[in-house]
């Protein structure tokens, strides 16, 4: 129920259309209920061939006998008319009432549309903002397809199930209450009887819908798994084919797909029960009512035309009740989707920002890591274990170690993609957790092993949100990254598209664009994580020169495998299984003949330098 209340708070941005919607709904209900008394004389004329005589009420006009006056004036008006003429008049009145009823029905829907679409639009925006705001660790153990299905399926579910039903949930009770009042006016005894029957029906239907919400959650989760599967298979299609893993993937996919079918069947079976069940129960109630009502008519307690109008009013209750029951079912189903959306929207922020962070504009002294330990979520052992390291401003530190030793993790910690499990990382003596995240990120540029490009032009991928960079600056950065030449060879130069995730470019080309992106920003702190690993040795040499140029006098943390880069670094930090085993300059470490010495000897075998 909590999430339903929060949905209602989303509605408060749409007060005006919502108010107009409610008003139209109210008018529609009003005209629906008003059409009932108008039908009594119609039946009278039909059954008795004549109308009853108008009788002026004895008491003066008051609110309590307004209906008697209404009836009196109505009958007086029809009194002077011929039978056929009176019939015609009544037809017109009924047509007019139904026109108004349906006009306001349309108006209600008309004003609901902007509310529905607005809420869904807001939800989608909030979800996207939230995804961008989530810390990197949030995505480590999440399936992409699951997040995607929250965007598409769950939002759709909220729209189709909740917002669509909202209209019914408001209008139908109005109709039910109006019709009930009319029925009470005709015969309180019969109404009480009907009321009890309806209550029993509602309880039965309500009982069945209990399970629906739970099942719907499972359905959406399973769909998320399915989508993840498809997403992974498409991005890995080459590997799938090369290793002939089609059969393996098909098998796994079929399993999930089959389970999806299974749970979906159960949900549909339950949901589809609502309509036939309520119709069956409805007709049972009608027959019972017929039987009991007919006794009253035979005994002369109520007139036959009043009983017919009563029945009509009852039919006005059946449909709205049925709709209301369906709306209730739908809302239950949609709540499951809403819950999943809220799981994301309300997920605890693992990277909280301090209230009044100190401004941070340049790196003057340097970075200090103090006893830094870090474990990934659910990992058995620490990826970084008690590392202390000093990186002086304006110097280059190379991180060296076997793959899996924790180099990337350490770089990610400095960039605060993750927060340390214990220990501290200080920038000019201030804990990174006390800095404004956007200040910290503005200070640095990161180039990772896997260059990430977005489906846009080369130029936009280099600028990538960096304000109004001039074309000259972009070209200068591209030249330094040794990317200008190949860019000019593409059909549209800087305006060429790079394809989905940059798949129209080679790995080396992507990496050079990612480098140009970092160079353009001219950041005080540069973090390069194997930023040249995808380049052939020819372009690597060229880029390397440019990078050395860029790194000169700049604080840099570089994960590299090229001996020349490592040698030239002011400081080399050697990691092994998450621990810092050695640190110092190339010569110092070579003299030590420890881990670094072994590492370099192994590298030299494969390195031409």
Q: Does position 555 bind ligand ADP by CB under 6 A? A: no
Residue 246: φ, ψ to 5°: -55, -45
Beta carbons of 528 and 558 less than 8 angstroms apart = yes
407 or 517: CB nearest ligand ADP: 407
> The tokens 């970092």 sit on which residue?
518
Q: Does position 385 bind ligand ADP by CB under 6 A? A: no
267 or 432: CB nearest ligand ADP: 432
Q: Does position 101 bind ligand ADP by CB under 6 A? A: no
Q: Does position 405 bind Mg ion by CB under 5 A? A: no
Beta carbons of 155 and 341 less than 8 angstroms apart = yes
Chosen from ligand ADP, Mg ion, none, partner binding at 24 (C-beta under 5 to 8 Å by type): none
140 or 588: CB nearest ligand ADP: 140
| Distance of closest approach, residue 533 Cβ to Mg ion, in angstroms | 9
Strand partners, 431: 426
Strand, helix or coil for residue 409: helix
Given strand 525-529, what is the order of strands in its sheet? Answer: 444-447, 525-529, 555-559, 396-400, 571-576, 579-584
Cα four-point dihedral sign 127, 131, 132, 135: positive
260 or 376: CB nearest ligand ADP: 376
Q: Does position 408 bind Mg ion by CB under 5 A? A: yes
The C-alpha angle with vertex 361 and arms to 359 and 365, in degrees rounded to 5, equals 105
232 or 428: CB nearest ligand ADP: 232
Q: Does position 282 bind ligand ADP by CB under 6 A? A: no
Name residues whose C-beta falls within 8 Å of residue 294's C-beta, 6 or more positions apart in sequence.
307
456 or 577: CB nearest ligand ADP: 577
> The tokens 């380049």 sit on which residue?
535
Q: Does position 185 bind ligand ADP by CB under 6 A? A: no
Chosen from Mg ion, ligand ADP, none, partner binding at 379 (C-beta under 5 to 8 Å by type): ligand ADP
Q: Does position 140 bind ligand ADP by CB under 6 A? A: yes
Beta carbons of 562 and 532 less than 8 angstroms apart = yes
67 or 140: CB nearest ligand ADP: 140
Rounded Cα–Cα distance for residues 127 and 220 (Å)? 17
Using CB under 6 A, pick the residue from 271, 407, 416, 562 that binds ligand ADP: 407
Rounded Cα–Cα distance for residues 129 and 494 (Å)? 29
Chosen from ligand ADP, Mg ion, none, partner binding at 405 (C-beta under 5 to 8 Å by type): ligand ADP
The CA–CA distances, whole Å, from 454 to 426, 448, 469, 497, 510 equal 32, 15, 18, 9, 11
Q: Does position 35 bind ligand ADP by CB under 6 A? A: no
Using CB under 6 A, pick the residue from 224, 337, 366, 401 that binds ligand ADP: 401
Chosen from ligand ADP, Mg ion, none, partner binding at 320 (C-beta under 5 to 8 Å by type): none
Q: Where do the H-state alpha helices sit in 346-451?
A: 407-414, 437-442
| Distance of closest approach, residue 559 Cβ to Mg ion, in angstroms | 6
Binding site for ligand ADP (CB under 6 A): 140, 376, 379, 383, 401, 403-409
């Amino acid at each position: 129920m909590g999430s339903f209340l929060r949905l209602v708070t989303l509605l408060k941005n749409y007060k005006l259309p919502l108010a107009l919607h409610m008003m139209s709904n109210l008018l529609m209900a009003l005209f629906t209920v008003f059409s009932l008394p108008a039908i009594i004389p119609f039946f009278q004329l039909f059954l008795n061939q004549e109308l009853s005589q108008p009788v002026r009420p004895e008491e003066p006009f008051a609110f309590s006998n307004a209906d008697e006056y209404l009836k009196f004036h109505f009958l007086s008006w029809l009194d002077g008319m011929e039978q056929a003429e009176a019939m015609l008049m009544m037809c017109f009145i009924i047509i007019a009432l139904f026109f108004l009823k349906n006009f306001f029905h349309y108006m209600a829907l008309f004003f609901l549309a902007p509310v529905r679409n607005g809420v869904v639009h807001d939800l989608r925006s909030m979800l996207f903002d939230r995804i961008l705001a989530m810390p990197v660790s949030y995505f480590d153990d999440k399936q992409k397809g699951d997040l995607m299905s929250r965007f598409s399926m769950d939002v759709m579910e909220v729209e189709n199930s909740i917002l669509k039903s909202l209209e019914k949930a408001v209008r139908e009770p109005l109709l039910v209450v109006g019709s009930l009042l009319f029925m009470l006016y005709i015969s309180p005894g019969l109404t009480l009887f009907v009321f009890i029957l309806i209550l029993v029906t509602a309880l039965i239907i309500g009982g069945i819908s209990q399970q629906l919400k739970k099942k719907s959650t499972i359905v959406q989760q399973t769909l998320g798994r399915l989508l993840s599967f498809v997403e992974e298979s498409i991005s890995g299609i080459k590997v799938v084919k090369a290793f002939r893993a089609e059969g393996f993937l098909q098998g796994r996919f079929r399993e999930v797909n089959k389970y999806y079918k299974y749970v979906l069947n159960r949900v549909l079976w339950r949901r589809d029960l609502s309509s036939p069940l309520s119709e069956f129960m409805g007709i049972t109630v009608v027959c019972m009512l017929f039987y009991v009502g007919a006794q009253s008519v035979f005994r002369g307690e109520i007139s036959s035309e009043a009983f017919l109008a009563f029945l009509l009013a009852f039919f006005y209750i059946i449909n709205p009740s049925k709709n209301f029951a369906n709306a209730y079912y739908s809302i239950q189903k949609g709540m499951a989707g809403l819950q999943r959306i809220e799981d994301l929207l309300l997920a605890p922020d693992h990277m909280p920002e301090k209230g009044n962070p100190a401004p941070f504009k340049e790196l003057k002294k340097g970075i200090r890591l103090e006893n830094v330990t870090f474990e990934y979520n659910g990992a058995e052992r620490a990826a970084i274990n008690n590392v202390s390291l000093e990186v002086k401003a304006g110097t280059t530190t190379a991180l060296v170690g076997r793959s899996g030793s924790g180099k990337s993790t350490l770089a990610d910690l400095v960039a605060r993609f993750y927060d340390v499990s214990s220990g501290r990382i200080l920038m000019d003596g201030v804990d990174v957790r006390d800095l404004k995240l956007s200040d910290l990120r503005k200070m640095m540029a990161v180039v990772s092993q896997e260059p990430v490009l977005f489906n846009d032009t080369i130029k936009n991928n280099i600028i990538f949100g960096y304000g109004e960079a001039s074309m000259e600056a972009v070209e200068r950065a591209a030249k330094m990254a040794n990317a200008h030449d190949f860019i000019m060879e593409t059909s549209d130069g800087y305006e060429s598209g790079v394809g989905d995730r940059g798949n129209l470019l080679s790995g080396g080309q992507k990496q050079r664009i990612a480098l140009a992106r970092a160079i353009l920003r001219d950041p005080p702190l540069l973090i390069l994580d194997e930023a040249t690993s995808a380049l052939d040795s020819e372009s690597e040499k060229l880029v390397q020169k440019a990078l050395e140029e860029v790194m000169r006098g700049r604080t840099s943390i570089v994960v590299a495998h090229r001996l020349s880069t490592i040698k030239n670094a002011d400081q080399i930090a050697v990691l092994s299984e998450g621990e810092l085993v050695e640190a110092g300059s190339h010569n110092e470490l070579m003299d030590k003949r420890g881990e670094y010495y072994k590492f370099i000897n192994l590298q030299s075998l494969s390195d031409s330098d």
